Structure 1
Amino acid sequence: MQFLLKLSRAIDSLNRWCGRTVMWLVLIVVLISSSNAISRKFFDMSSNAWLEAQWYLFGALFLLTGGYTFLRNEHVRVDVLAARLSERKQIVIEIVGVLLFMLPACLAIMVLSWPVFMDSYVTHELSSNSGGLIRWPAKLIIPVGFALISLQGVSHLIKCIGFLRGLCPNPNKKLLDKSPEELLAEDIARQAQAKFEQQQKG
């Protein structure tokens, strides 16, 4: 079990790194999107390549952060009934859900999307739009994204079993680390409080 928990931590680290790295695609997408809009509006210029790059990155942003979102327990859960049960029963339901629904669905998508990617890669498939990009990188994102989600499902499964055996905390609890926005808000509040206290002393 200790080996499996180490494997779980390694998977968590992979998805944590991937998620935090891919987040920077938000900035790149915003820059590309705004540049396209400005060039089209003010210079009457447009590029299918940049427009498709924007779509590719947008797809990567969602698919490659699926495992990270699962790690942080940020996916939508319909737990109106499960919330009334004990933690152990909730974990049992979680194990059943991962084994019977999540992993089979993710593996099926991986298996079905891989030949589509390979066909695109072997034939050097290009976009049908004039000046468009090659297609295989966008199609590769699908199996890779679902592979990351599947790995995180395995990690979650290990942690669920570990919780039932008393070896780790409840994996259904959301991570308590704060977002950059929350940390910034707290810092601003501390500075305002310190300034107020200085004014009171003065």
Structure 2
Amino acid sequence: MPKAIRLFVRYVDAVNYWVGRFAMYLFFVLGGVLIYATLSRVLAGIPVNWALEMSQFLLSAYYLLGGAYSMQLNGHVRMDLLYANLPPRKRAMTDAITILFVIFYLAVLLAGGVSATDYAITYQQRNYSSWAPLLWPIKVVMTIAIFLMLLQAISTFFKDVAEARGKPIV
């Protein structure tokens, strides 16, 4: 593989590694929000109206930002009917073909994410609830996460092609 592709793979993998590791800690923030809301309601008798939506936003950021890292670690589920019996190079060839569908899907999803984020920023879109938070921050996070997932899918494609050719990118 050309040096530019190897650099692309190395940098995308590095960025998604660190973003994924960061996303892991969002789970602790989520736990803190839920514990605070529970203690506030049970001990003080004061319900917190923002906790449910904040926990939904945190969970969305957690799994979307962790998606590219999960792909990097081969943590996604595969339909393993015939795949497991294939030799490694044929598996890589199969992966290289099927990842193209994922790339197409993520590109369409990214276009929708950019459009939705632009709308949320332009019109100061708010959620319909008593807290009524602005939606653009979570939509920005979601769009960035989709973009990182798209980059990771392209990186995976390059790694699969290299593996299918018998010259893996290390």
After TM superposition, the score normalised by the length of structure 1 is 0.79
Deviation at 1:50, TM superposition (A): 3.2
Matched, 1:147 2:147: yes
Cα deviations across residues 107-146 of structure 1 (Å, max 9, x unaligned)? Answer: 1111112211111111112222123321111222332221
Matched, 1:4 2:5: yes
Identity of aligned residues (%): 25
Gaps of 5+ in 1: 172-202
CA RMSD of aligned residues (A): 1.5
Matched, 1:102 2:110: no
Look up the match of 2:85. Answer: 84
SS at match of 1:127: coil
Cα deviations across residues 59-92 of structure 1 (Å, max 9, x unaligned)? Answer: 0001011000000001111122011111111111
SS at match of 2:50: helix
Deviation at 1:23, TM superposition (A): 0.8
Look up the match of 1:182. Answer: none
SS at match of 2:125: coil
Asked whether the 8 Å contact 1:53–1:133 carries over to 2, the reply is no
Q: How does 1:123-138 map to 2 (within 5 A)?
A: 123-138=123-138
Deviation >4 Å, runs of 4+: none
Distance 1:127 1:160 in 2: 41
Gaps of 5+ in 2: none
Asked whether the 8 Å contact 1:47–1:131 carries over to 2, the reply is no
Look up the match of 2:113. Answer: 113
Name the amino acid aligned to 1:71.
Q
Look up the match of 2:51. Answer: 50
Distance 1:148 1:78 in 2: 24
Cα deviations across residues 33-52 of structure 1 (Å, max 9, x unaligned)? Answer: 01101111221212222332
SS at match of 2:112: helix
Asked whether the 8 Å contact 1:52–1:132 carries over to 2, the reply is no
Paired residue total: 169
Higher Rg of the two aligned structures = 1
Deviation at 1:165, TM superposition (A): 3.1
Look up the match of 1:164. Answer: 164
Distance 2:7 2:168 in 1: 12
Distance 2:160 2:136 in 1: 36
After TM superposition, the score normalised by the length of structure 2 is 0.92
